[in-house]
Amino acid sequence: MVVFGTRNKRLEIVDDRMYKCPKCSGGPLAHNIFQEYFHIWYIPFFPIRKKVVAKCVNCGSEIQQEQLSPVAVEQAKMSSTKRAPLQLYSGLFIVGLIIASVAIITVENGRKQKNFLSNPKPGDVYLVEDKSSGYSYFRVEKITGDSMLMNPNSAWFPDKKNASLSYGSFDKEVRQWKYWSREEFEMLRTSGRIDDVSRTGLTSGMLDEISTETGSSDEKPASSSSGEDGPAVPAAH
């Protein structure tokens, strides 16, 4: 439940020389000038208006604004020189700060992702949209000349919202990995079907194991045309 409403903050006390206390007939009045403000969970958002509560210096009676003559109220407000303190705008300030931060992060993130896409590196993970299968992640394992060796993630998601929460594992065998040509990659990139990029810097250790076994680091892993799940390159729209 959101707690909100209005509260009052006393700004100052101004003396009144024209009006006297109606309770003790004659006591001088001091006007307490309050600033009414709107709050949410007691965080002040913005000031609303000034309020006057008179107090008799003699008998101590408090007289609310409604019981004072409109002229006296007007005069008290006019003799008050204090403006609503900036502190009463705290809530608006906080909200503005949050909006600005989110905007900056979003812009910065978009810029970063663009940079990553224009310069792919092993360890980059792409969220790729496929018309028939939904969304899945692909990790760049190796880039050799014009081809990118992609490790498809085990999980497919029907929509982007679910996909962005997490991804499955990248523990498929090397023979299940796919080659993308630069042309195919560019096609996905320019058509906006690579939705999300993260630069993890982490690749599977499987390529290293193979190089050790075969004794050649340039050897391509056996590529398989009998991929089980997910298209090698997601089909175009």
CB-nearer residue toward Zn ion: 64 or 87: 64
57 binds Zn ion (CB under 5 A): no
Instruction: Report the C-alpha gap between 94 and 134 in whole angstroms.
Output: 38
Instruction: Report the C-alpha gap between 151 and 132 in whole angstroms.
Output: 19
Give the range of 23-31, 41-49, 128-136, 187-195 binding Zn ion by CB under 5 A.
23-31
236 binds Zn ion (CB under 5 A): no
Instruction: Quote the least distance from Cβ 24 to Zn ion, whole Å.
Output: 3
Distances (CA, A) of 47 to 51, 65, 75: 11, 18, 20
125 binds Zn ion (CB under 5 A): no
E-assigned strands of 57-193? Answer: 62-63, 124-130, 134-144, 147-157, 178-181
Instruction: Report the C-alpha gap between 180 and 169 in whole angstroms.
Output: 20
CB-nearer residue toward Zn ion: 21 or 52: 21
CB-nearer residue toward Zn ion: 24 or 94: 24
CB-nearer residue toward Zn ion: 61 or 223: 61
22 binds Zn ion (CB under 5 A): no
* Interface with Zn ion in residues 61-120 (CB under 5 A): 61
Interface residue list for Zn ion (CB under 5 A): 21, 23-24, 27, 56, 58-59, 61
